Structure 1
C-alpha cells in the first residue's frame, strides 16, 4: 500500500518517530542508570552489613577494671589469646588473632604476670604485654615440698622483696585469691613452680602461686575425685602434702596415699615422723627419724599423739603428689617405710610383722650409713 502522506508530512513523521525513539532510549537508559545506581547503593549497604556481622568482635577500649593475667612458661600465643578472653581483657579469640598480625614480634611474648584492664582493644592489650616484657621480669622458683616459711625465704631471695613484706601480704588472702580450701592459711596452697613477675608488689607472686594451685586442682579434677573418695578437697591436699614430704619415687606416691586412707578408715594413728618434724619446726633433712621428746610434743600436728590427719598441710605439694592423693592405688597396705634414703626405695606391708621386717632393713641401711638417719 502506498503512503497517502505528502513528502513534507513524511519528513515530519520521520522526525517524530526518531524523536519518540530517542525519548524512549533516554528513558530506558535513565532507568538503567537508576537501577544500577540503586544496586550499587544496595550492594554497599549489604556489604557493610555482612562485614559488620562477620567482623571480629573487639572492645573499643581503653579498658575498665584492673585484672592480672598469669602466662605460664610454654604457653603458646593462641593460648595467651584464650587467657585474655577468659579474663575478659579482649572480646574474642578472633579479635586477638587479627590483632597479632600487626605485631611481627608477637612470638617474643614472655611468661610472667601482666597487669591489664578488662575490655581492652586487642591491639592495646598485646602492646601492653609486649611493653611489660621489654621492661624485664624477675624469675623465681618455688620447689615442691617446701613449708610456707621456706617458700617465703625462696621468694624473697629470687625477687628482692623482703620477707617482712611477703609475710604482711600473706595476711591479705582475698587480694591474692587464696583457695577457699585453705581456710585462710596459705600453707600448702601456694603452688610450687617456676614463675616470672614484673614489679615489686608482693601480692603479685602470691596471686600467681594461688591461682596456679587452683588451676592444677581443676586440671586433675581434685574436688570431683575427693568426693568419690568420701573426703573433702582440703583433706586430699593434706594427704598430698604428707606424700610430698615422705616419698620421692613416683611409683610410691599412690601407694602411700592408700596406706594413709586405709589407716584413717580403721581409725589407726598415722604415726608419721614428717608431721612430728613440722610440729617441732624441725628443719627438713636433719635425720630420717624423730626422738621420744619430739614425739611427745602436744601439737595437733603430732600424728603419734592425735588420731586422724593433721589440721593442715605440712608442705606445698606438687602436681604429682596431688594426683596421687586424689587417685590412690588399690591395695591393703597398712604400713610403709623408706629402706634406702639414697634411692628413696620404700617398702609396703599389710601386717605389723611384715612392717617390722621392713623396719629391720631400714635399720641395717642406717647402720651401714652412719650419720644419715
Structure 2
C-alpha cells in the first residue's frame, strides 16, 4: 500500500513554489526595470537627454520626470530603488542642476549621477577687448540668461569679497566692473547663473592679472589706472607686435599732458562702432563726454573693456619710443609718427589709398 504524502508538507511545498515564482517574477521585473533602456546594440545610438532638476524637487518628482523623458522604465522602480538602497541612509540628497543623461545608463547609474551632483558643464569664451555690455549680449544670445540680469549682477558684487575693486562706479551709465572680468574660456556648471559667471571671471582676474601688477616693483599707475590704460591698449592693438609700442605712445602722451585721442573711448562713450566705411565723424569726436579722450586730457573715468594678459603686461612695460601719434591702416597695422605734421601726412596717404581701392560707381 502506497504511503500518503503528508498534507502539511504538501501545503508547504506548494507555498514554497508560489513564493519562489513570485520572487522570481519580482526579481525579473526588478532587473528589467532598472536595466538600461537602450540595448547593447543601440547604446551607441542613445542620444544625450538633458534633465533639469530644480531646487527642492523631491525624489518622487525626479523619478516621474525621468520616466516622462524615457530615461527609466518605471517611476515605481525609481521610488523603490531610492528607498531600499544606500541612498536612504547616505548623507546629502539629489542635487539641483542640469544633467546630461542617456538611455544607455541604468537606473542606479542615473540615480548616482543626480545624487552626486555630476551636472552638465557648459563652456563660454570671452575675447579680449569686450565690454561688459558686449558680454551681456553674448550670454543672452547663447541662451544662458537675459542681458539685463548680467548687468544687474555686475552692479551687486560685494567689495568685501574683492577689496581691490574700485569702490564706486564713475557714472551710473557705465558698469563698475568694466575691465575686471577677465577674458578667457571657462567651464561652468549648468544651469548658468549671472552671479556665478561674474565670480568665476573676477576670480580669474585675481589669479592671473592681479599678481602681474603686484609683482611690479615701480608702480607709476594705480591698479585702476593700469586696467584703464590697458583696456585702451587692448582695443587699439590688433597686431600683437605693436602692443608695447602703442602702450609707449599713450604713456608719452600722458606724460606730456596731451589728450590720448583714442577712437575706442569715443565709441564706448556713445555706443557706436566705426568701420572702414563708417569712420568716426568730427561732430562725434568733438562732443563733450567724460570718456571722450579727444577732448579730455588724461585717462577716462574707468576702463572701456576687459584687457587680456598681453595688454596688461604691455601697459606696465611700454616701449621706450618718441612716437606721439599713430593711425590705423586697413590691415590691422598702424603708421607711427613723431610729429603732428607726419601724422596728418600718414592719415592723408591712408585715406587716399582707401579711396583708390574703392570700386568705381560709374
TM-score by length of 2: 0.61
**Structure-2 change in CA distance of 1:285 and 1:359 (3 Å):** closer
How far did residue 165 of structure 1 move?
Answer: 2.1
Is the partner of 2:218 in helix, strand or coil? helix
Separation in 2 of the partners of 1:204 and 1:288? 38
How far did residue 287 of structure 1 move?
Answer: 5.0
Separation in 2 of the partners of 1:326 and 1:352? 26
Is the partner of 1:228 in helix, strand or coil? coil
In structure 2, what is the equivalent of residue 362 of structure 1?
Answer: 350
In structure 2, what is the equivalent of residue 189 of structure 1?
Answer: 180
Q: Deviations over 1:179-228 (max 9, x none)?
A: 63443401111011111111333211100111111222134x22443x62
Q: Number of aligned pairs?
A: 240
Separation in 2 of the partners of 1:131 and 1:365? 63
Which segment drifts farther, 204-213 or 135-144? Answer: 135-144
Q: Is 1:262 aligned to 2:246, yes or no?
A: no
- Which structure 2 residues correspond to residues 54-73 of structure 1 after superposition, within 5 A? none
**Structure-2 change in CA distance of 1:183 and 1:203 (3 Å):** same
Separation in 2 of the partners of 1:153 and 1:355? 36
Separation in 2 of the partners of 1:368 and 1:338? 17
**Structure-2 change in CA distance of 1:347 and 1:312 (3 Å):** same
Separation in 2 of the partners of 1:201 and 1:314? 24
Q: Deviations over 1:161-180 (max 9, x none)?
A: 22232222112111894563
How far did residue 152 of structure 1 move?
Answer: 1.0
In structure 2, what is the equivalent of residue 232 of structure 1?
Answer: 222
TM-score by length of 1: 0.59
Larger Rg: 1
Q: Deviations over 1:245-287 (max 9, x none)?
A: 1121111110010100101101111112211111111135475
**Structure-2 change in CA distance of 1:189 and 1:218 (3 Å):** closer
In structure 1, what is the equivalent of residue 284 of structure 2?
Answer: 294
Which segment drifts farther, 260-269 or 345-354? Answer: 345-354
1:217 counterpart (199, 209, 229) = 209
In structure 2, what is the equivalent of residue 282 of structure 1?
Answer: 272
1:244 counterpart (230, 234, 241) = 234
Structure 1 segments, 4+ long, off by >2 Å, are 155-159, 175-184, 283-289, 368-371
Q: Which runs of 5+ in 1 are unaligned?
A: 1-126
